[in-house]
Amino acid sequence: MKSHLTSEEISAAVAGLEIDAPARDHLEGCVVCRAEAADLERLIAIRRRELRTEAPDWDVQTRQIMDRLPAAAGKDARRHRRWLRPVLALAAVLVLAVGLGILRSGGSAGPPAPEPSVEDILAEMDELLSDDSIPGFEIIDPWIDDHTMDFGYIEPTPSESVG
């Protein structure tokens, strides 16, 4: 026969955890160990009853919850979803059909513009290349520009040095 349970074993029994068979058998037959386990169990039971006295009126709570249920989240939402899917599918098919139609017609609704000839394109390119000025940096005084390019600095113009 096992002697009295250890404090750990009694705690395990109170917690409702498994204890080994000899300990369980002892607990069933020992008044002292049972009383020790029952001490905390009794306090917990009282505390649980205390907490229950704080509970709200359940019918009132149910009514308040039902009043708060959003209409869209339940049946109505599901009905909404039921017709939403086919409508979205139809819209997708329409968009696809319109898109394909545009592609087949060459990407625009009007008649196609006449293509420029190769000569025209080359002429336009030549014109662009011949203009090497940078916008905003146009030459103000051709003399300063030339002098700077030749000597790397600006000398006073002949008229300025006389003074």
- Binding residues vs other proteins (CB under 8 A): 7-8, 10-12, 14-17, 39-40, 42-44, 46-56, 58, 61-62, 64-66, 68-70, 73-78
Rounded least distance, CB 103 to other proteins, Å:
39
Rounded least distance, CB 77 to other proteins, Å:
7
Instruction: Say how far apart CA 138 and CA 134 lie, in whole Å.
Output: 7
DSSP one-letter code for 141: -
Of the two residues 68 and 104, which places its CB atom closer to other proteins in the complex?
Answer: 68
Unique residue bearing structure tokens 């096992």: 2
Rounded least distance, CB 49 to other proteins, Å:
4
Of the two residues 43 and 96, which places its CB atom closer to other proteins in the complex?
Answer: 43
Tokens of 149: 């390019």
Unique residue bearing structure tokens 């203009």: 131
Chain length of the chain: 163
Of the two residues 24 and 147, which places its CB atom closer to other proteins in the complex?
Answer: 24
Of the two residues 10 and 27, which places its CB atom closer to other proteins in the complex?
Answer: 10
Rounded least distance, CB 7 to other proteins, Å:
7
Alpha helices in the chain (DSSP H): 7-15, 21-29, 31-53, 58-68, 75-104, 118-130, 142-151, 158-162
